[in-house]
Amino acid sequence: MSRRSERADETVISVTSAQPGRSEDLESRIARYAWMMSIRIVCFVLAVLTPSPWRWIFLVGAVFLPSVAVVLANARKTTKVDAAASYVPPARPQIGPDSAHDSRSFTGPEVIPDPGPDRDTEK
C-alpha cells in the first residue's frame, strides 16, 4: 500500500472546476467552421441569383468569410468555470496513551518492583 505525501498548503482541485476536454473543444470549433462554410456556400448561390447591388454584397461575404471562419475556428473557447469549495478532509484520530481511555484517568504503566536476587518468586 503506497502512501501519498500530503502538504498542508496544498489545495485539492475539484473535477467540477476543470476546463472542458480538448475533444469537446475541437468538436465545437469544427462545428463553428462548418456553419461558416455553409453560409459561404449560400452567399455564392445568392450572388449568382440576385440582382446587381445585392450580388456584390453576397460576393464580398463569400470571399471574406473563409478568413473570418479560420480565425474563429482557431480561437479556443476559454470559459472560466468557478472553482468549487476546496475539500477539507476530516480530522484523523490520534494514536496515543489516551486513545483507549480518557487522559484524566490514565495513570501510566503499572510498575512491578523487582524482587531482587535473594528472593525466589516461584514457590
Residue 3 is predicted with a pLDDT of 54
Q: What are phi and psi of 33, to 5 degrees?
A: -65, -40
The three-state secondary structure class of 75 is coil
Residue 57 is predicted with a pLDDT of 92
Residue 1 is predicted with a pLDDT of 47
97-110 residue pLDDT tens: 655 555 555 566 77
Exposed, middle or buried, 44 (CB in 10 Å: 0-12/13-18/19+)?
middle
**Positions of the chain with pLDDT under 50:** 1-2
Q: Domain coordinates of the chain in residue numbers?
A: 23-76
Q: Could you give the C-alpha distances from 47 to 35, 65, 98, 100, in angstroms and in order? A: 18, 14, 88, 88
pTM: 0.47
Residue 8 is predicted with a pLDDT of 60
